[in-house]
Chain A
């Protein structure tokens, strides 16, 4: 079936939702791939979060998919429009690695862990349970959320493939 093989792509600092097939994003480093899933309506959503907070934004028009604090509310809004319910949503996430280790305690360099913390805070605010996560480490990840059952497939060069 054609529908089965539908893969919606999410770029860097981008978000999207889908009802069929799966949704994927590639090459997560310090970015966090946050996924929301409604098991009843089988709607899946994914955000490729690059930065923890829009407070630091210096850009003219805000790309709300880029920041954890704006991407998650938008993802919820888009999913609700399609028929998902906030009370049913469950979250999984991956990424937030620290690709290179530095002795200089520059906060910018700790961006991965900060993205993860910020995403968790946002999930707490919206009362969405975080079912599983594969975050941290020093390696990149490609993730794909399957709408059939909400399985999150994680692939990495060094650590192989795992499902959460």
Chain B
């Protein structure tokens, strides 16, 4: 089943705009943090089979750094920032002049710095959404994992598991000018949150 058949083009556009506003503000925050231009791609809103979600960031076994937030409030959901290892190291070196040689290990200080970057980005993503929708949304404290993409993203899919084999998610890629730093925001609203988002924005329900 195609997503626009379920939601309709208009609602799909509304969700894209949500991704645009949230990720746009987060990218701006990142750009200020690094004092470098950050570009972002047009957000994608898709109903993805579970199997394909991890493919968006390189496959189920791809080792990624995931900074995860549970979104609490009136429209709960899951928010992930996913970086690959190299870009995360670049990010740290730009921001804090930190550099490490070891492949998969990060010091406590680096983990803490990455979590804080995530915190700032999540804060700007969600506060812009909250402003736009007038729904209260706040992130939990960040949780950071360096692990297989399939294993971490799976966490956001559990609620959808009761209803089918695919999840509705809004993902936005962002990259720094010379493409050294790139990452992906995933917003996966809980299935019940969509009606609240649409109602808050005055989108008529069919």
- Residues of chain A having any CB pair with chain B under 8 Å: 11-14, 26-31, 50-51, 56-60, 63, 66, 97, 99-102, 104, 108, 111, 138-142, 156-158
Contact = CB atoms under 8 A, between A and B. Distances in A.
B104 to A, nearest CB: 6
Interface string B89-122: 0000000000000001000000000000000000
Given A139-B147, A157-B104, A157-B147, A63 B154 contact: no
A82 B4 CA distance: 42
A116 B60 CA distance: 21
24 contacts: A12-B150, A12-B154, A14-B51, A26-B60, A26-B150, A50-B50, A50-B158, A51-B161, A59-B162, A59-B163, A59-B165, A63-B164, A99-B145, A102-B140, A108-B159, A139-B145, A139-B147, A142-B148, A156-B147, A156-B148, A157-B63, A157-B104, A157-B148, A158-B146
A140 B151 contact: yes
A60 B163 CA distance: 8
Contacts of A13: 50, 161, 165
Contacts of A99: 68, 145, 147, 151-152, 154-155
A158 B152 CA distance: 13
B149 interface: yes
Give the size category of B's interface with A.
20 to 34
Contacts, number: 103
A101 B50 contact: no
SS class of chain A's interface: helix, strand, loop or mixed? loop
B61 interface: yes
A66 B161 contact: yes
B151 A27 contact: yes
A140 B147 contact: yes
A50 B148 CA distance: 16
A140 B50 contact: no
B104 A30 contact: no
A125 to B, nearest CB: 22
Most chain A C-beta atoms within 10 Å of own C-beta, residue among B54, B140, B163, B164 = B164
